[in-house]
Amino acid sequence: SDLPNAHVVYLTYADVFEDTPFAAWYKELPSTAGDNCYTKQNLANAARIAVVYKFGGVYLDLDMISIAPMDDVSDRGVAWESPDSVNNAFMSFRKPRDPLLMEYMLRFIAEFNN
């Protein structure tokens, strides 16, 4: 490969959600849930949160542009949407398994209404 540091891995949602609160939540979804476009969006949102929780790092949606080096980004933060809502279009959690992301996952599950 021309990119020796790049690896392509096939993952299922079950793989991504393993060792997170999303694992049990995902197992409880009806088998037809993936037919709903909102469920697909929410599964993708949950997967982003789970990956950043498990490995740490910075996540940006493809429609976001950074105008400063990512080194200057906060060690811990999410996109604020409203006083009672955050948006996972931007997440920065430099260290894995941050307790704030654990709370985020638990609230996501508790408030999930598809």
How would residue 30 be classed by pLDDT, with cut points 50, 70 and 90? Answer: confident
What are residue 70's phi and psi, to 5 degrees?
-70, -15
pLDDT of residue 1: 58
What is the C-alpha separation between 82 and 33, in angstroms, rounded? 28
| Residues 58-67 pLDDT 10s | 999 999 988 8
pLDDT over threshold 90, residue 95: yes
Strand bridging mode 85-93 / 57-60? antiparallel
18: DSSP letter: T
Share of the chain above pLDDT 90, in %: 56
Q: Structure pTM?
A: 0.86
